């Protein structure tokens, strides 16, 4: 890397720090939690102020706990302060000296639980039955989770299990798919659709069973040291693929944001920034193909009226709406953007019992928009946003790549 590039990167990195906060309050007016919960003092008073003024931990603990890591504040900040990342760092610092609850432990370690469940014969069916009984008996509520919600059921076979049976045409053009926990264990058909779409574009899809969960739930719950281990492992594998000139692609906006941007911000490691350049969100990658005139546009008509909820973590990647732009080319598809703000789920935030009401209040605008839209289906590139939409509206949802697979007749 040249000296100039190095200097630019150093300057850009400095902009993420709290010292660039102007106290302009733009972040506060864009924070959905602050709008829904008056007890929350808001982004500027948590990460940046705490970092600069070193408040005592107990003074800010309640406020720190309110942040959902939706990153709306970061997108609003004219100084480029990584407000929600600072909040997550401060939350991790708090948990260096405070114990986590059982609820935090369960919500942060979904990957660990899924691996245990899948080790047992018939494990997913048994676990799903147990979760239904647990919900009916109020067990989850008693543990501090949102008892109003259903825990997403485990799919009978994970994506990685289904992948072994997919027959793909061999190709020189390859991508590695990063499924993430939710697609792997709960919604594997998104991953299957991605493989079909890439095959239709002449790519062979690889998987890497050495990848961990991206670590987003760990960061959100304040388990930063564990998240760092996940980051080190994932980055080593991304770089292995980078060395072979094979990109890594994710179908969950929270996973792709974590791999591309948050690792570097949280752990201040230039290797992580370099690895992030080899990671793409699915429709970002497909749009690059379109720009090179390499996207297969041999689409069959799909007669569907779609409402598109763009997840906060996709907005934070600054990509615009590549899925809407590509799906608009499919004959018969009508795509309208919901443009109704954050859904309120923010990964595991809405699963916490004491955050459920805030989560649903934030989602109200989107729920009303969906109820008024009269669409056939709501599309969204984030699995937990789709759960929130189903919970708040009973609308049918899918990932946009599943619509594209239909357009290829797959
Ligand atoms: S990340 Fe979201 S909830 Fe947290 S302070 Fe920023 S805007 Fe508010
Ligand atoms: S938007 Fe940025 S500069 Fe303005 S108060 Fe928030 S953190 Fe500070």
pLDDT of residue 101: 94
When the pLDDT of each residue in the chain is averaged and rounded to a whole number, the result is 92
Q: In the structure, what pLDDT confidence band is assigned to residue 71 with cuts at 50, 70 and 90? A: very high
- 49, pLDDT greater than 50: yes
Q: Which atom of ligand 1 is nearest to the CA of 68?
A: 3
For residue 362 and ligand 1, the question of a CB distance below 6 A is answered with: no
**pLDDT, greater one: 48 or 335:** 335
CA of 74 to the centre of ligand 2 (A): 8
Distance between CA atoms of residues 4 and 204, nearest Å:
38
47, pLDDT greater than 70: no
Contact 349, 220 (CB under 8 A): yes
Contacts for 119-123: CB closer than 8 Å, 24+ residues apart: 123/154
- Does 92 sit in the ligand 2 pocket, CB within 6 Å? no
Question: Is the Cβ atom of 359 under 6 angstroms away from ligand 1?
Answer: no
Average pLDDT over residues 197-226: 97
Query: How many angstroms is it from 83 CA to the middle of ligand 1?
Result: 8
Residue with the bigger pLDDT between 88 and 404: it is 404
State the distance from the centre of ligand 1 to the C-alpha of 43, rounded, in angstroms: 6
Q: List the strands of the sheet with 304-308, edge to edge.
A: 333-337, 304-308, 377-379, 397-398
The DSSP symbol for 246 reads -
CB 87 near ligand 1, within 6 Å: yes
Q: Is the CB of 70 under 6 A from ligand 1?
A: yes
pLDDT tens, 373-401? 999 999 999 999 999 999 999 999 999 99
For residue 203, how far is its CA from the centre of ligand 1 (angstroms)? 38
Domains of the chain as residue ranges with CATH: 3-94 (1.10.1060.10), 296-407 (3.40.50)
Which atom of ligand 1 lies at the shortest distance from residue 84's CA?
1
Given the structure tokens 């009916």, which residue do they identify?
136
The mean pLDDT of 194-198, rounded to a whole number, is 98
Ligand 1 centroid to residue 37 C-alpha, Å: 12
Asked if residue 57 has pLDDT above 70, the reply is no
Q: Is the CB of 275 under 6 A from ligand 2?
A: no
C-alpha to C-alpha distance for 237 and 234, rounded to whole angstroms: 5
Of all protein residues, the one whose alpha carbon is nearest to atom 3 of ligand 2 is 21
Residue 55, pLDDT score = 52
SS3 content of the chain, % helix, strand, coil (to 5): 55, 10, 35
Q: Is the pLDDT of residue 13 over 70?
A: no
For residues 286-305, average pLDDT: 98
Largest CA distance in the chain: 62
Tell whether the model's pLDDT for residue 93 goes beyond 50. yes
Whether 217 has a pLDDT exceeding 70, the answer reads yes
Tens digits of residue pLDDT in 120-132: 999 999 999 999 9
Which pLDDT score, from 0 to 100, does residue 268 have?
Answer: 82
Is 175 a residue whose pLDDT tops 70? yes
Ligand 2: does its nearest atom lie under 6 Å from the Cβ of 27?
A: yes
């Amino acid at each position: 890397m040249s000296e100039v590039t190095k200097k630019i990167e150093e300057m850009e990195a400095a902009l993420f720090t709290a010292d660039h906060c102007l106290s302009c309050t733009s972040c506060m007016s864009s924070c959905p939690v602050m709008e829904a919960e008056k007890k929350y003092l808001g982004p500027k008073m948590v990460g940046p102020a705490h970092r600069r003024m070193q408040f005592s931990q107990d003074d800010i603990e309640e406020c720190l706990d309110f942040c959902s890591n939706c990153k709306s504040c970061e997108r609003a900040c004219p100084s480029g302060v990584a407000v929600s990342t600072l909040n997550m760092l401060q939350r991790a610092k708090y948990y260096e000296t405070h114990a986590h609850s059982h609820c935090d432990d369960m919500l942060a370690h979904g990957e660990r639980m899924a691996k245990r469940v899948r080790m047992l014969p018939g494990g997913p069916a048994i676990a799903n039955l147990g979760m239904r009984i647990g919900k009916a008996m109020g067990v989850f509520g008693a543990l501090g989770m949102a008892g109003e919600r259903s825990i997403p059921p485990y799919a009978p076979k994970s994506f990685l299990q289904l992948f072994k049976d997919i027959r793909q045409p061999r190709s020189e053009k390859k991508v590695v798919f990063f499924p993430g926990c939710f697609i792997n264990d709960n919604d594997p058909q998104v991953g299957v659709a991605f493989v079909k779409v890439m095959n239709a574009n002449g790519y062979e899809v690889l998987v890497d069973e050495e990848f961990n969960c991206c670590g987003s739930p760990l960061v959100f719950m304040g388990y930063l040291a564990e998240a760092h281990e996940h980051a080190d492992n994932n980055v080593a594998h991304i770089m292995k693929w980078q060395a072979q000139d094979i990109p890594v692609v994710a179908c969950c906006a929270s996973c792709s944001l974590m791999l591309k941007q948050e690792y570097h911000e949280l752990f201040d490691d230039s290797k992580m920034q370099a690895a992030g350049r080899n990671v793409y969100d699915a429709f970002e990658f497909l749009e690059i193909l379109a720009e090179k005139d390499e996207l297969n546009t041999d689409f069959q008509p799909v007669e569907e009226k779609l409402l598109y909820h763009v997840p906060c973590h996709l907005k934070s990647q600054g990509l615009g709406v590549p899925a809407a732009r590509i799906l608009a080319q499919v004959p018969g598809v009508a795509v309208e953007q919901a443009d109704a703000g954050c859904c309120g789920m923010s990964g595991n935030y809405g699963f916490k019992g004491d955050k459920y009401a805030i989560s649903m209040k934030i989602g109200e605008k989107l729920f009303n928009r969906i109820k008024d839209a009269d669409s056939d289906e709501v599309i969204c590139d984030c699995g937990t946003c789709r759960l929130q939409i189903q919970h708040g509206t009973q609308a049918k949802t899918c990932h946009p790549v599943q619509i594209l697979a239909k357009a290829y007749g797959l």
